[in-house]
Amino acid sequence: MLDDGRVVTAHCANSGSMRECCEPERPVYLSFHDNPKRKLKYTWEMIEMPTSLVGVNTLVPNRLVKQALENRGVFELKDYGTIRSEVKVSDSSRLDILAENSDGEKCYVEIKNCTLVKDGAACFPDAVTTRGRKHLVELQKLVKQGDRGVIFFLVQRMDATSFAPAAHIDPAYSAELEKALENGVEILVYDVDITLERIALGKRI
């Protein structure tokens, strides 16, 4: 329901369960898109939870992290000057980012949107994800051949103090993440600085 009392249907660009960020009666924030090709003019962007605004649009993390990498704003990945999106790594898989430095060294980055936070603990995923597990397998292959591989969890809220895989939701993904870590895949977790006007990369968790 909008402020003027009109009820609209908004597109939700999030395929997860959205547990811990979907309480009834919570204030939500939409963006308006006057595009004749769109079926729905509104997109659900944020929800106001008791301890933080939460960004629910899963298209935001890729844009935000890519911009941060281009601006050398991620300390652990600051040495890469060339950033490319949606890079094919096999016949059936793409990864979100390929970063290269001046020596031609490659770093593949897969970005995941995290909105599940309970009692300060951020978890991923919030629903079973076979696709996400496949990305972890691809990253391990790339690391084995000598490249750098990073799984980047962006927590689109400001109330997390720790992170762990959600073994209670997807034990197979959790096990694969542990295996990936043992096999040299790096894990980065950052939160955001989010307001109604802007969203920026926050601190490392």
**In contact, 161 and 195? CB cutoff 8 Å:** no
Share of the chain above pLDDT 90, in %: 94
pLDDT at 91 over 90: no
- Show the CA angle centred on residue 123, arms to residues 179 and 174, nearest 5°: 20
Count how many residues are written for the chain: 205
Element (H, E) at 143: helix 130-144
CA distance 64 to 176: 26
User: For the chain, which domains are there?
Assistant: 10-55 (2.40.50.580), 60-204 (3.40.1350.60)
pLDDT at 15 over 90: no
**What tens digit of pLDDT does each residue of 103-140 get?**
999 999 999 999 999 999 999 999 999 999 999 999 99
pLDDT of residue 200: 96
pLDDT of residue 90: 84
Q: Which residue is associated with the tokens 């944020």? A: 46
**What tens digit of pLDDT does each residue of 53-66 get?**
999 999 999 999 99
What's the chain's average pLDDT?
Answer: 95
pLDDT at 178 over 90: yes
- Show the CA angle centred on residue 16, arms to residues 14 and 19, nearest 5°: 110
